């Protein structure tokens, strides 16, 4: 069996086309504020991709590039100004932040109504309570769109997630649970992860370990979602799932690149359009 490719790039392009059309009918373009502290190379690439994608659909983005050694109070002050600026619909803070800054204090200072990354505790708490949050984190939201495209009903599916971060594993587990899945969340301290992945209908890996998941980790016909963005020793971009090794055993798989990454950017844009609608009525 040759696994079906889940084409995140194409799905994301289609979503962007419909967002562009929606924006063209708005009185004003939605505005996204992107706050980045310091000079992390990977973060700079992600920010550029987000700005480029925003421009493609007619959304305005403002880049607030702050000094590496800025004090926490100053970052929070800038976020409060953005909260109060009625022209700004969405605010994101590019993570990770430099070590001297407390990520929670900074995220918590974003208005939950402008929190288009969906990391504010009001939004994560609503999700946890199976209440509709204002915003859901972009990567998990994009993965749910992909899975909902494959399955008409996810209830009863067994899912194993590798990685329990605030931005991927945890919100994703809740979204899946809210749709009736039975979810195992594994992480760096889990013993024998294979025991969990080997029986799962769906395996989602978000741990950042290159080519960790091999064909003997999965059951035949499993759906595989690869969130990881890694480089091999030779410098080649790869996911957490060994694509070549699993491709004849899985039912469907997301490629890296061209899978979860483009959907994450599209979901950020979708959240920002929804923020505009929420604020302007
Ligand atoms: P993180 O460092 O915050 O969390 C990693 C998680 O993986 C932790 O829960 C940790 O316990 C677990 N883990 C680490 N090593 C493990 C191992 N050997 N076995 C099992 N679990 C292990 O990372 P993150 O920010 O969630 O990102 C994870 C990966 O996903 C990275 O490669 C990142 O670049 C990628 N990512 C991609 C997108 C995208 O849009 N494609 C978005 C977010 C993150």
Distance 206 CA to ligand 1 centre (A): 4
CA-nearest residue for atom 39, ligand 1, is 261
Atom of ligand 1 nearest to the CA of 187: 21
Distance 57 CA to ligand 1 centre (A): 29
Distance 215 CA to ligand 1 centre (A): 20
206 close to ligand 1 (CB < 6 Angstrom)? yes
Q: Which tens digit of pLDDT belongs to each residue from 18-62?
A: 999 999 999 999 999 999 999 999 999 999 999 999 999 999 999
User: Mutation test of ligand 1: which of 208, 238, 241 has the most ligand atoms closer than 8 Å to its C-beta?
Assistant: 208
User: Mutation test of ligand 1: which of 8, 119, 168, 210 has the most ligand atoms closer than 8 Å to its C-beta?
Assistant: 168
103 close to ligand 1 (CB < 6 Angstrom)? no
Whole-angstrom distance, CA of residue 29 vs CA of residue 87 = 9
Q: How confident is the model at residue 38, as a pLDDT?
A: 98
Percent of the chain whose pLDDT exceeds 70: 100
Question: Which are the catalytic amino acids?
Answer: 50, 94, 117
How many alpha carbons lie under 13 Å from residue 25 in its C-beta half-sphere? Answer: 6
Q: Which tens digit of pLDDT belongs to each residue from 154-208?
A: 999 999 999 999 999 999 999 999 999 999 999 999 999 999 999 999 999 999 9
Distance 205 CA to ligand 1 centre (A): 8
Tell me how far the alpha carbon of residue 193 is from its chain's centroid: 23
Q: How confident is the model at residue 92, as a pLDDT?
A: 98
172 close to ligand 1 (CB < 6 Angstrom)? no
CA-nearest residue for atom 42, ligand 1, is 139
Distance 209 CA to ligand 1 centre (A): 8
CA-nearest residue for atom 17, ligand 1, is 188
Residue 281 in this model has a pLDDT that exceeds 90: no
Nearest-5° angle of CA 120, CA 8, CA 256?
Answer: 95
State pTM to two decimals. 0.98
> What token pair was written down for 261?
């990454």
Task: Domains for the chain: give ranges and CATH numbers.
Answer: 28-111 (3.40.50.10860), 137-261 (3.40.50.720)
């Amino acid at each position: 069996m040759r696994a079906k490719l889940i084409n995140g790039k194409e799905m994301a392009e289609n979503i962007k086309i419909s967002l562009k059309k929606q924006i063209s009918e708005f009185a004003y373009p939605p505005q996204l504020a992107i706050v980045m502290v310091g000079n992390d190379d990977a973060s700079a690439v992600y920010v550029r991709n987000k700005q480029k994608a925003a421009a493609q659909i007619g959304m305005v983005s403002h880049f607030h590039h702050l000094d590496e050694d800025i004090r926490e109070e100053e970052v929070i002050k800038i976020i409060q100004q953005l909260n109060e600026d009625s022209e700004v619909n969405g605010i994101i803070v590019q993570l990770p932040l430099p070590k001297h800054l407390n990520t929670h204090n900074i995220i918590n200072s974003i208005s939950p109504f402008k929190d288009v990354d969906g990391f504010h505790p009001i939004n994560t708490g609503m999700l946890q309570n199976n209440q509709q949050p204002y915003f859901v984190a972009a990567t998990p939201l994009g993965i749910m769109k992909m899975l909902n495209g494959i399955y008409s009903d996810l209830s009863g599916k067994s899912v194993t997630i590798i990685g329990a971060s605030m931005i991927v594993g945890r919100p994703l587990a809740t979204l899946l649970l809210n749709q009736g899945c039975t979810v195992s969340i594994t992480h760096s301290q889990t013993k024998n992860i294979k025991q969990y992945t080997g029986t799962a209908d769906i395996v989602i890996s978000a741990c950042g370990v290159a080519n960790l998941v091999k064909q003997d980790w999965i059951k035949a016909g499993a759906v595989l979602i690869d969130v990881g963005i890694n480089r091999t020793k030779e410098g080649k971009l790869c996911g957490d799932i060994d694509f070549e090794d699993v491709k004849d055993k899985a039912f469907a798989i997301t490629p890296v690149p061209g899978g979860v990454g483009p959907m994450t950017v599209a979901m950020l844009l979708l959240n920002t359009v929804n923020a505009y609608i929420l604020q302007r009525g």
